[in-house]
A and B are shown apart, each in its own frame.
Chain A
Amino acid sequence: MKNKISDKREESIISQLSALYMQYGYKRYKPGCFEEYSLYQENKDFLIGKNVITFSDLNGKLMAMRPDVTLSLIRHSDVSDKSTDKYFYNEKVYRQSAGGRNYKEISQTGVEVVGSIDGAVVCELTILICKTLEAVSDNYILDISHMGFTEGLLNEFPSNRNTISEYLKAKNLHDFYLLAAKEKYSQNLINAFEIAVNACGAPENALNQANSAILNSTMRDAIAELNALYELLKEFGFADKVNVNFSATANADYYNGVIFNGYVENVPHCVLSGGRYDKLIDKFSKRGGAIGFALYLGEIERYLAKQNETVDYLVVYSVETQVQALRTAQKLLSDGRSVRISIGIPAGLGYKKLIDLTEKEAT
């Protein structure tokens, strides 16, 4: 039996995922730890946190500790619309933690595909996302949205675009209704916004509802792409883990297609995010498209550790029974069990069975 304890630990997840990505023919990308600060300054809206650790190098050039891997990859790789390159990485990034006030070293694993992007690439990447989330937890949900649908909708509200975008992200219908009454929005627009907020959950139903919210060709194309993706996911057995959620959006200056947000049970925030970001390639004056995702492992380890601090056997020994404890443990370990040997019962560790070798010594 495979040892379940370490399966969901950071190191183990990383090695499982590296093997998975290599199996799909992805090449490992290993960037340097430092980049010129200007790379992040020019693309600060692409980053999760705006703050970057900076320092001057020996020539006085302003450098930064890498807060993100995607920007380095796009800057340094040859992107061409004639071919497709597939990369994965396991790196540390340096940025503010979610909701935190300090800089942190965060372990991040991700996949990026650059160049010519077609339906097969998008489907394969979605499957890889599902498998990535599965490596973290058996109970996961992948939210899928499409920038074409949300941007197409928001374009219909030119004078209150930002406000409506905030309402969509927060699923805030009550304030939307007040604004709609003030601005005298048509019933058609109100219905479309309601559907965008409420069409959330199993794709078949949500995409059907979304069909009746289509206001323009951008939205129509987006729904057609999501439907095609859903059909493929169904065929490959991943459809039941996918949710449609149009409240999941990303920065429209960079993202332009399918958007992904992954959640696992018992972790209160999004653990994986990504999507199609052809517009970033444009910003680097390169030709082609790009799609990718990142799993923020460093941000979730504390939640995973809490669930996994349990061993199959706890062997408690005394000074006299040390060797006996080692022998007992070795036997159990060779049977594939997890074992902790300890001179007392350690605080905070769960165990299924206790083998007490102190009692023997007493008798």
Chain B
Amino acid sequence: MINIALPKGRLGEKVYKLLSDIGYKCDEYSKDSRKLIFSDKKGEVSYFWVKPSDVAVYVELGAADIGVAGKDILDEYCPDVYELADLKMGRCSMCVAALEDFKDDLSSPLRVATKFVHTAEKYYNEMGRDIELIKLNGSIELAPVLGISDVIVDIVETGTTLKENNLKVIGRISDISARLIANKSSYKFKNGGVLSICEELRKAVENCD
């Protein structure tokens, strides 16, 4: 039995569809059900629906053998897992954004508002730029508008929210997409099962491309 952690929401549903198309269908599954665990009758796979940012925790701690997590979460929390495939879904970018008229003042530390503290720290450390971090949990775009930060580090999908708040992208940190991750112990003890799901998913993604 392979336990699979999927992120709740649109991305998770898309990944489930892909998995069921390649034979890991679960008859119990219903889009509208509030159940969090589904198992298939043959006992090959079991699905958990968890908060997207928690998928990596479930996989690292072995509750799930494999899971689907955004590259943003993997970069931020650096879980000790294998990253086996790029599912090329949920694509977006980790960006630095600022007000339209922003000019960097190198005489003082840059104030950076973000949910992705580690990612921002790493990016500016590599640049050698001194920063002051402001950890926020949502509506990050507000920070420069209200003057509590000079820039933000956040995920940008279409850029519409930025535009509506008079912000623009001034730096691109990395490309983000959904990744298939595996627990390191499960990779060894359930090697055949993990590798065959991974291989079939890779092929399915290539065909979708």
The reply to whether the CB of B160 lies closer than 8 angstroms to some CB of chain A is no
The reply to whether the CB of A267 lies closer than 8 angstroms to some CB of chain B is yes
- In the assembled complex, how far is the CB of residue A265 from the closest CB belonging to chain B, in whole angstroms? 5
B183/A143 in contact, CB under 8 A: no
Interface pairs A-B: 7 shortest CB-CB: A268-B62, A174-B86, A170-B83, A172-B83, A171-B82, A141-B188, A268-B185
The reply to whether the CB of B80 lies closer than 8 angstroms to some CB of chain A is yes
B86/A175 in contact, CB under 8 A: yes
Q: What does the 1/0 interface line of B84-117 toward A look like (CB < 8 Å)? A: 1110000000000000000000000000000000
The B contact surface, by secondary structure, is mixed
B82/A243 in contact, CB under 8 A: no
List chain B residues, Cβ under 8 A from A99: 60-61
A267/B83 in contact, CB under 8 A: no
Residue from the list B83, B84, B85, B184 in contact with A263, Cβ < 8 A: B184
B60/A174 in contact, CB under 8 A: no
A270/B191 in contact, CB under 8 A: no
List chain A residues, Cβ under 8 A from B188: 141, 143, 243, 263
B residues with a Cβ closer than 8 A to A are 60-63, 80-86, 183-186, 188-189, 191
A265/B189 in contact, CB under 8 A: yes
- In the assembled complex, how far is the CB of residue B57 from the closest CB belonging to chain A, in whole angstroms? 8
List chain B residues, Cβ under 8 A from A270: 184-185
Residue from the list B84, B86, B185, B189 in contact with A269, Cβ < 8 A: B185
A residues with a Cβ closer than 8 A to B are 99, 139, 141, 143, 170-172, 174-175, 201, 243, 247, 263, 265, 267-270
A268/B85 in contact, CB under 8 A: no
12 examples of A-B residue contacts, CB within 8 angstroms:
A170-B82, A170-B83, A171-B83, A172-B82, A263-B188, A265-B185, A265-B189, A268-B60, A268-B63, A268-B183, A268-B186, A269-B80
| CA of A171 to CA of B85, assembled, Å | 9
B85/A174 in contact, CB under 8 A: yes
List chain A residues, Cβ under 8 A from B80: 269
The verdict on A170 contacting B185 (CB below 8 Å), with A175-B86, A201-B191 known, is no
- In the assembled complex, how far is the CB of residue B67 from the closest CB belonging to chain A, in whole angstroms? 13
A263/B82 in contact, CB under 8 A: no
Closest to A248 in B: B184
B60/A263 in contact, CB under 8 A: no
| CA of A174 to CA of B186, assembled, Å | 21
Contacts A170-B82, A268-B63 known; list 20 others, CB within 8 Å: A99-B60, A139-B189, A171-B82, A171-B84, A172-B82, A172-B83, A174-B85, A174-B86, A175-B83, A201-B191, A243-B188, A263-B185, A263-B189, A267-B62, A268-B62, A268-B183, A269-B60, A269-B62, A269-B185, A270-B184
List chain A residues, Cβ under 8 A from B185: 263, 265, 267-270
List chain A residues, Cβ under 8 A from B82: 170-172, 247
List chain A residues, Cβ under 8 A from B83: 170-172, 175
List chain B residues, Cβ under 8 A from A263: 184-185, 188-189
| CA of A141 to CA of B191, assembled, Å | 12
| CA of A148 to CA of B61, assembled, Å | 30
List chain B residues, Cβ under 8 A from A267: 62, 185
List chain B residues, Cβ under 8 A from A175: 83, 86
Among B85, B184, B189, B191: residue with most chain A CB under 10 A: B184
